[in-house]
Amino acid sequence: MLHEQTFAFPSGPTRIVAAMAAPARQVLADLVDREMTVAQIASTLGWSLKRVRYWLGRHGLETNDWTAKRTASSGDREVTRTCKAHGPTKFVLEGRGYYRCGRCRQERVVASRRRTRRRLVDEAGGRCAICGYSRCVGALAFHHVDPSEKEFGLSWRGLTRSFEDLRKEASKCLLLCSNCHAEVEAGMISVAERRSQISLSSEPVAE
């Protein structure tokens, strides 16, 4: 005989204590609609993981994490799912066996590289070593003083390495703005000469 149970979803941390033999489908459906994982549903209801999986299966319900695991086992590298931030889009299979929104993944990579570059620029003085330009981080570049010591470039792609490796490579460089960097690379002027020119132009004119 099934026992009826009334469930409430108060504000704040949700905690439901259930003691019925067969849960109403709607109770589990509501939790699935909230995009809870199997573990979260088990914690909310005070059940074991095994019991949650059993009743989800009996009611024909499936959580997002379980769908991801099942789909991952099929070997598909990409699937179309709904992302909270981007809506229907491609999800990519990661090494841990879970699918992740491709656009969210790319945005996090870009944000991480920007933070890394900002940190390297700050440690290098935050401004062009020749003219002092500092308005736009994107207009600053790392110039290797001795090309023979260069192990890798500190361009966008190179920022995937560990920060200690990046810091070590940056220590071999001067931070230059785009204009000064282009002139130095073209051999039009040396760093020492350019610094000397700027120093002379900034000196007060004698009356």
Cβ neighbour number for residue 160 with a 10 Å cutoff: 11
- 95 inside domain: no
Q: Is the pLDDT of residue 64 over 50?
A: yes
> Are the C-beta atoms of 29 and 35 separated by less than 8 Å?
no
- 152 inside domain: yes
Over the chain, what is the mean pLDDT? Answer: 77
- 158 inside domain: yes
- 172 inside domain: yes
Q: What's the number of domains the chain is made of? A: 2
Give the pLDDT confidence score for residue 142 in this predicted structure.
93
Domain end point (choices 44, 62, 80):
62
More confident of the two residues 159 and 172: 172
Q: Is the pLDDT of residue 55 over 80?
A: yes
Mean pLDDT, to the nearest integer, of 49-78? 72
Q: What is the pTM of this model?
A: 0.54
119-124-130 Cα angle (round to 5): 135
Give the pLDDT confidence score for residue 125 in this predicted structure.
93
> Are the C-beta atoms of 129 and 175 separated by less than 8 Å?
yes
Q: Is the pLDDT of residue 177 over 60?
A: yes
Would you list the DSSP string of the chain?
----------SSS-------SS--HHHHHHHHHTT--HHHHHHHHT--HHHHHHHHHHTT---HHHHHHHHHTTT-SEEEEEETTTEEEEEEE-TTS-EEEHHHHHHHHHHHHHHHHHHHHHHTTSS-TTT---S-GGGEEEEESSGGG--S--STGGGGS-HHHHHHHHTTEEEEEHHHHHHHHTTSS-HHHHHHHHHHHTSPPP-
Mean pLDDT, to the nearest integer, of 59-65? 73
Give the pLDDT confidence score for residue 122 in this predicted structure.
94
pLDDT in tens, 114-159: 999 999 999 999 999 888 999 999 899 999 888 888 888 887 666 7
- 94 inside domain: no
Tracing tokens 């979803």 back to the chain, one arrives at: 9
Instruction: State how far the Cα of 174 lies from the Cα of 189, in Å rounded to an integer.
Output: 15
- One-letter amino acid identity for 140? L
More confident of the two residues 134 and 19: 134
For residue 204, name the pLDDT band (cuts at 50, 70, 90): very low
Give the pLDDT confidence score for residue 196 in this predicted structure.
66
- Backbone dihedral region for residue 60 (phi beyond 0: left; psi -120 to 50: alpha; all else: beta): left
* Residue ranges making up the domain that contains 150: 124-201
- 193 inside domain: yes
- One-letter amino acid identity for 192? A
- 87 inside domain: no
> Are the C-beta atoms of 144 and 175 separated by less than 8 Å?
no
- 171 inside domain: yes
Domain end point (choices 27, 44, 62):
62
